Amino acid sequence: MAETFSIQKYLRDLKLPFCPGCGIFTVMNTFLRAVYELGYEDLSKFVFCSGIGCSSWIPSPYFVADSVHTPHGRSIPVATGVKLLRPELNVVVFGGDGDIVGIGMSHFIHAARRNLGILVIMVNNMVYGMTGGQVAPTTPFNTKTTTTPYGSFEQPLDAARLAVAAGACYSARWTTAHPDKLEESIKKAIRMKGFRFIEVVSQCPTAYGRRAGFKNAKKMLEWFKENAIPVQQTEKMSEKELERKIIIGEFVERRRRTIVENIYAIIKEAQASAGQN
Ligand SMILES: Cc1ncc(C[n+]2csc(CCOP(=O)(O)OP(=O)(O)O)c2C)c(N)n1
Ligand code: SF4
Ligand SMILES: [Mg+2]
């Protein structure tokens, strides 16, 4: 392993497209640091899939790696094909909240149900960032966005808990104000098998923060720190006390047979029985 972590060796020499203060920088840096600390000198054992949106620009074309940029919301179906054909590779999906649990919601649920052996890292900036800040399924209640100028009137989706209910082997939520926890979580998730999901609540000062009443990225990070509650502490809290809080931590960690294990076992059985006939 090289002496010290340098993000540059995992990145192509291209200018990143993110706004100053965007939380995506933290997610990108933390992921690559985790990869480095696990001893990967390069990304040759990884394939990345992403859809459309600011967060979907994390791997492609910036990582020195094989990556696929798919249509909006379709990164998980493409990742499914990659994992079935090349089960030995680490298949990682990056996407935004709109991409993964908006337009791509059904793929997310079915991949968790099938226990597809991929890691999905969802940057939850609580809005459709790249298209200018429209309300998303993850936008907190009563928040001003471009499409809800008087405040959003729907309750937000709890993606990390949805992953648990759908069958994920690992599900966790952190924020960009908790990079150390996030890094440990990414390291654990890369080592595990099965469907793994990490939600990162992240600041989008440009399309979300300004309208939602935050002066700048720093104010958003302060909000994350002040309102993040470890999941273990929430058991005795009422719904009212949990309003507008960000529940962080690990929601599940378990082992289930993966779809790849099941399919390859069936292929072996079918070949054996064909040989007998
Ligand atoms: C089929 C389709 N519908 C809509 C769009 C327009 N579109 C592009 S990105 C995006 C939302 C992105 O939001 P999110 O996934 O949360 O990513 P962010 O930019 O917030 O990181 C939308 C609606 C599209 N590209 N394709
Ligand atoms: S619009 Fe928001 S999410 Fe997109 S790069 Fe800018 S700050 Fe980041
Ligand atoms: Mg988003």
Domains for the chain: give ranges and CATH numbers.
Answer: 16-276 (3.40.50.970)
CA distance 197 to 1: 27
| pLDDT at residue 1 in the model | 58
| pLDDT at residue 134 in the model | 98
Atom of ligand 1 nearest to the CA of 204: 20
CA of 122 to the centre of ligand 3 (A): 9
Please identify every stretch of the chain with a pLDDT value under 70, giving residue numbers as ranges. Answer: 1-2
pLDDT in tens, 210-232: 999 999 999 999 999 999 999 99
Q: Coil, helix or strand for 192?
A: coil
CA distance 73 to 50: 8
- For residue 139, CA distances in Å to 131, 136, 201 come to 15, 5, 11
| pLDDT at residue 3 in the model | 75
Atom 10 in ligand 1: residue holding the nearest Cα = 53
Residues with beta carbon inside 6 Å of ligand 1? 52-55, 72, 95-99, 123, 125, 127-131, 136
